[in-house]
Structure 1
Amino acid sequence: MDDGDKKKIRIVKDGPYLVSGDVRLNEKIITPKGNQYELLDGRELKQSDSYALCRCGKSEKAPFCDGSHEKEGFDGSECAAKDSYSDRARVFSGPGLSMRDDQRCAVARFCHRNNGTAWVLVKNSDCEENKIEAIQAACECPAGRLTAINEAGKEIEAALEPSVNIVQDPENEVSAGIFVTGNVPIESADGDVYEIRNRTALCRCGKSRNKPFCDGTHISIGFTDKISE
């Protein structure tokens, strides 16, 4: 297999995300379900072995790049730390479960559950129902901010297929980030590879203060894309 066949996202300096290796591209909708949320399927998007996704937030052909970053003078400088998740994360311990939290939040709200937030559930994880719900909250966090840890000290992760998900957030009347699943490597513009994670969220409004990762700024600026059919 040559390098072009490997699943990868490469960040172009002040330009788009270049996705290669036939990674499935989806549109997903953050949808309320009681006091929690679920990701539902959106529109069908064009599939390709490789594609370029807008990173500046100005493309008229979203989610794909149309070169707008050049005329807009987009500054895509990456400022996110490249240390490991385990080094960044704080550990929250409960009676039946622990959870790591590295604070990289995309404001997707999957940590909000019917019986409380993920942190409250961990604190009360002596109850089996709360323990199960805390695990679900952590595993469904699309930014990878939260990771549940069992009593043996092992991280609990769902098996996720490699995919790139263009996300809409109707409740906040905005377009959200790019949720990446399934351990797809992300190569920075300087050639380094960020720690490979099962779940992560990338910025596509162009305004994150933690590029290339989403930090929820799309909500405060009211970002909406012009997604092409």
Structure 2
Amino acid sequence: MAKSKKIPVEVGSKAAPETFYIKITDQGPYLVYGNPPIDQEIIMPNEEGSSWVYRKGTHFKSEGEPISLCRCGESKHKPFCDGSHQHAHWNPKETNDKTPLLENAEEFEGPTMILADNQDYCAFARFCDAYGRIWNLVQEAQSEKEKELVRHEAGHCPAGRLVLWDKEKEEVFEPPFLPSIGIIEDPGIHVSGPIWVKGGIRIESADGTSYEIRNRVTLCRCGQSSNKPFCDGTHAQMKFQDHLPLEDAEKEW
């Protein structure tokens, strides 16, 4: 296993204990080590119908290690792998070049905060538009209420494409996550979203090298992202569905 101390860690993030990591197989699933909890994370709306919070749904139990999670999109036992990748029409090749996210990010500076945004990692969760577009909000935020709204919208971005710098505190704002995995469901647009990896879990490529460790990462599980292994929002365009029950969540949209 690669030594995590040699792997870059994004500013504001903290690496999980080395027992937690995800290994991407060359032609098959994600192999999850360390037995982190795996739960549905259902995107829920505010009173205006915009993405606002997550609600936990089904808790997925799996015995033993590693846990195999589907990444081709074709498993009949989602989110787990059932071997369908062997016959699925998909391209398993990892296309992300491992460049740190912030190196290619655009910056938006306001009086109190700076927002870095790398659109290549957009998971189309839409928290950035809840009460105004975050790119505009950050350039105007001065009161604590205004700053808290910016922190909320940035911190709920599951992919971590939005990284927020507090100019006064001289530190990056990151929500505190324990090592865990979310299976995102998005009833607002009737699709199933990516695998949400939280808490600095290391992700190892099929070639044995590791990606930059980040507090928030979304991995493709529809099999069609152009930025594999990461989600690029393609699941929304293709109307990807895992057909897992959502209780009464859809009634709230």
TM-score normalized by the length of structure 1: 0.92
Report the residue type matching 1:92 in the other structure.
F
Residue of structure 1 in register with 2:80 after alignment:
64
Residue of structure 2 in register with 1:14 after alignment:
27
- Rounded Cα–Cα distance in structure 1 between residues aligned with 2:76 and 2:176: 34
Shift of 1:99: 0.9
Q: 1:158 aligns with which of 148, 160, 175?
A: 175
Residue of structure 2 in register with 1:97 after alignment:
113
- Rounded Cα–Cα distance in structure 2 between residues aligned with 1:12 and 1:227: 25
- Rounded Cα–Cα distance in structure 1 between residues aligned with 2:186 and 2:102: 29
Residue of structure 2 in register with 1:141 after alignment:
157
Unaligned runs of 5+ in 1: none
Q: % of aligned pairs identical? A: 41
Shift of 1:78: 0.7
After superposing the two structures, state which structure 1 stretch, 78-87 or 44-53, moved more: 44-53
Superposition misfits of 4+ residues, deviation over 4 angstroms: none
- Rounded Cα–Cα distance in structure 2 between residues aligned with 1:80 and 1:123: 30
Number of residues of Structure 1 aligned to a counterpart in Structure 2: 225
Residue of structure 1 in register with 2:55 after alignment:
40
Partner of 1:130, secondary structure, is helix
- Rounded Cα–Cα distance in structure 2 between residues aligned with 1:134 and 1:73: 40
Contact 1:82–1:194 (8 Å) recurs in 2: yes
Contact 1:17–1:52 (8 Å) recurs in 2: yes
Residue of structure 2 in register with 1:203 after alignment:
220
Per chain length, whose mean CA-contact separation is higher, i.e. which structure has more relative contact order (CA < 8 Å, sep 6+)?
A: 2
Provide the alpha-carbon RMSD of the alignment: 1.8
Unaligned runs of 5+ in 2: 4-17, 247-253
1:86-125 to 2 correspondence within 5 Å?
86-103=102-119, 104-114=121-131, 116-125=132-141
- Rounded Cα–Cα distance in structure 1 between residues aligned with 2:57 and 2:211: 28
Residue of structure 1 in register with 2:146 after alignment:
130
- Rounded Cα–Cα distance in structure 1 between residues aligned with 2:90 and 2:130: 37
The 1:55–1:36 alpha-carbon spacing in structure 2 relative to 1, beyond 3 Å, is: closer
The 1:138–1:228 alpha-carbon spacing in structure 2 relative to 1, beyond 3 Å, is: closer
Q: Deviations over 1:156-208 (max 9, x none)?
A: 11210111111111111111111110000000111110000000111000011
- Rounded Cα–Cα distance in structure 2 between residues aligned with 1:79 and 1:44: 31
The 1:65–1:33 alpha-carbon spacing in structure 2 relative to 1, beyond 3 Å, is: same
Residue of structure 1 in register with 2:37 after alignment:
24
- Rounded Cα–Cα distance in structure 2 between residues aligned with 1:155 and 1:192: 26
TM-score normalized by the length of structure 2: 0.84
Q: Deviations over 1:109-167 (max 9, x none)?
A: 111222x1211110111233221211121111100001110114421112101111111
